[in-house]
Amino acid sequence: MKSLLITRPLPDEVLAAARAQFSVTVRLNNLPMEGDELRDALRNFDLVLPTLGDAFDRKVFADVAAPRCKMLANFGVGFNHIDTKAAKMAGVTVTNTPGAVTDATADVAMTLILMSARRAGEGERLVRAGHWRGWHPTQMLGMHLTGKTVGIAGMGRIGQAIAARCHFGFDMPVKYWNRSEKELAFPAERVTSITDLASQVDVLLAAVPGGADTHHLFDAEVFAAMQSHAHFINISRGEVVHEAALIAALEAEEIGGAGLDVYEFEPKVPEALRKRDNVTLLPHLGTAALEVRTQMGLMAVDNLIAFAQGQTPPNLV
């Protein structure tokens, strides 16, 4: 029976499925693996099920010349914490869990859009602090969302799911920035420049993958192009945003607000963001539903089982 390291505690159903097929070790720590832990994982286990933050980078693979581990079955759709080129050179297969995260992440995107536009976080803090003095006609006036234009950067599965919710649920015209034109089940206009997209929409949403190609994609130029009432939303990866530029844009009132589920130096969140009432902050809740995390884990286990049986895993990256 092949040995499997699961790098974080996972739902019981996932662990049971894994233990039925493999000799499982569960690392009982919810923080990312670091340093020697990463190297020991490659040296001491046949298979590893890692997740966000477990940085199997080029240096880690360089230090383990002939890894015992032959597969990294990533728990999550994003895999920019794994150097896939270095893994391939070391003979290590990498998979992920696409599809399972789509609807859950899109739902959180809509949560952030609504909370940011309608000042929901600010309003809840007001009530909890005991400072609310009752309704009046000009209290906490936010941005009415229905009919506003949404701009989505990245029209993959998640971007399309968000766009569908915006179009069908809120009658929002959809514009998007993507490397290629997409055939969609609803009207949407492709804009070829991300700064042009930023200038044309009421809500600008980041749904791009992480990695070198998208690092700091949302920078001072993009925020300067946004309309002063517009809101910026990020449910993708923290490093796609130049956080200092976002803070500067908020402080200069270049944009109307922001809703963030991920952060450039996660889990560190700058005080400049935490203290602003027009910024909604969530603790990376994108896929945080039991049935979704279970589905993700079972998908990762299915990838492991296929590999162990000499078959092609269904979700190769």
Residues annotated as part of the active site: 237, 266, 284
Is residue 222 within 8 A of residue 198, CB to CB? The reply is yes
**Residue 289 CB coordination number (10 Å):** 14
CB environment 220-230: b (16+ within 10 A), e (fewer): eebbbbbbeeb
User: Cβ neighbours of residue 256 under 8 Å, at least 6 residues apart?
Assistant: 143, 227, 228, 229, 230, 231, 278
Is residue 71 within 8 A of residue 95, CB to CB? The reply is yes
* Phi, psi for residue 75 in degrees, rounded to 5: -90, 100
Alpha helices in 77-226 (DSSP H): 84-89, 102-117, 120-128, 157-164, 170, 194-200, 220-225
* Phi, psi for residue 305 in degrees, rounded to 5: -65, -45
For the record, the structure tokens of 313 come out as 């895993």
71-73 and 93-95: which strand pairing? Answer: parallel
Is residue 63 within 8 A of residue 57, CB to CB? The reply is no
Cα 310 vs. chain centroid, distance in angstroms? 31
Closest CA to 286 of 236, 251, 212: 236
Is residue 48 within 8 A of residue 5, CB to CB? The reply is yes
Cα-based distances in Å from 106 to 20, 46, 212, 251: 33, 35, 24, 28
